[in-house]
Structure 1
């Protein structure tokens, strides 16, 4: 099963829309995982229409309309992988041990908030942050991730760098 990982899209606050490459990846994915900070529910509506499946949460920039529709934590078993999605995990120092203690039953945790790509493992828990496809902040590129789940394992994790940052008005 092919997954597309997104977070911190901030549409239309940071960009009018997702980059074309991301929309192409939505069409190629079996499951879109979004770790929050949508900003407006219209993007959620559009992704739900186009995605084959979706697992998503709200973030700290998401108001009541999104919080009514999405949980703070979403979990699912996908291809034998116990997957969780949350927006914020706190400071990077000690993150792996904190998340392992907080989510002892997960194999994979997708998170956002920092806009900084992250890929680590700790005591059987893989932690992934896809960065942001629209707001690179201090990063050299806007990013998103894809991966494949097969027989209870995570394979082919790829960080995709977008050619140029998507700026509002472009």
Structure 2
């Protein structure tokens, strides 16, 4: 099962359009996770039209139209793994412990907000993944998203994709 993890698309405020490589990854994925900050409903519509399965939440920059369509937390089982999606997890310090306590029923938590790629495992075994942002690198060297696969109830082949600078 092929997965795409993304967050913080911020269209049209941070970019006029989604990167072609990200859209191609949406088309290839069996499940797409989006951890919020869409900013406009048109971007959600694009993902819903293209993704085989979309698991998504709203973020702090998403207005009433998106909040009416998306929850704050999403939970789903994929290939024997329990995934969760949330936009904000708070400060980096203590994140693993906080998330392990709040999301003890999960194997993997996809989150966003910081635009900083993140891959750690909490002491209790919860894997925390932030794919960064495909449109707004902030203080990072690249805009990013992640792909992975689920095989035999294990997350394998996790890859951080770096997008070329926008022209």
Q: Return the TM-score normalized by structure 2.
A: 0.98
Aligned twin of 2:94: 94
1:73 correspondence with 2:95: no
Matches within 5 A, 1:118-137: 118-122=118-122, 123-137=124-138
| Structure 2 Cα separation of the partners of residues 32 and 111 of structure 1 | 13
- d(CA) in 1 for partners of 2:152 and 2:67? 33
Note the alpha carbon deviations across 1:13-68, whole angstroms, 9 max, x for none.
01011101001101110011000000000000011001111000000000000000
Superposed, 1:1-170 pairs within 5 Å as: 1-122=1-122, 123-164=124-165, 166=166
Q: Which runs of 5+ in 1 are unaligned?
A: none
The whole-number CA distance in structure 2 between the counterparts of 1:126 and 1:59 is 20
Q: Distance in 1 between matches of 2:6 and 2:16?
A: 16
- TM-score, scaled to structure 1: 0.96
Question: SS of 2:74's equivalent?
Answer: strand
Q: Which runs of 4+ in 1 moved over 4 A?
A: none
- Give the Cα separation in 1 of the matches to 2:102 and 2:27: 33
